[in-house]
């Protein structure tokens, strides 16, 4: 049983907050940065606009995305055009 995003959407599993300080990439330290999140692509829609694939690590803002729980874990679904960057 799986979630298949439609059209330009992707399903993302966000990193938990405690993990964020580990890699040194991103440490939020103000209210302004709080909306930024890191996550991993879990599934992608069928649109040819999507160049990301399962397993890619991405940065996105906690805006315009829809939260859901899949098997008890927090996920978000959002339009790929709103993803800011890939972490390589």
Tell me phi and psi for residue 81, to 5 degrees. Answer: -65, -20
Q: Return all residues near 16 (Cβ < 8 A) that are at least 6 apart.
A: none
Verify binding: residue 15, a second copy, rule CB under 8 A: no
Touching a second copy, residues 17-46 (CB under 8 A):
23-30, 32-33, 35-36, 46
Give the separation between CA 28 and CA 63, rounded to whole angstroms. 16
Verify binding: residue 53, a second copy, rule CB under 8 A: no
CB of 54 to a second copy, least distance (A): 15
Which positions lie near a second copy, rule CB under 8 A?
1-7, 9, 11, 23-30, 32-33, 35-36, 46, 51-52, 59, 61, 66-72, 77, 81, 83-88
């Amino acid at each position: 049983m799986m979630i298949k995003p439609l059209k330009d959407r992707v399903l993302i599993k966000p990193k938990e907050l405690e993990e964020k300080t580990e890699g040194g990439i991103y440490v939020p330290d103000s209210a302004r940065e709080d909306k930024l999140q890191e996550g991993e692509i879990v599934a992608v829609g069928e649109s040819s606009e999507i160049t990301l694939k399962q397993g890619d690590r991405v940065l996105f803002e906690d805006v315009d995305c829809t939260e859901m729980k899949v098997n008890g874990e927090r996920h978000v679904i959002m339009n790929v055009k709103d993803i800011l960057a890939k972490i390589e």
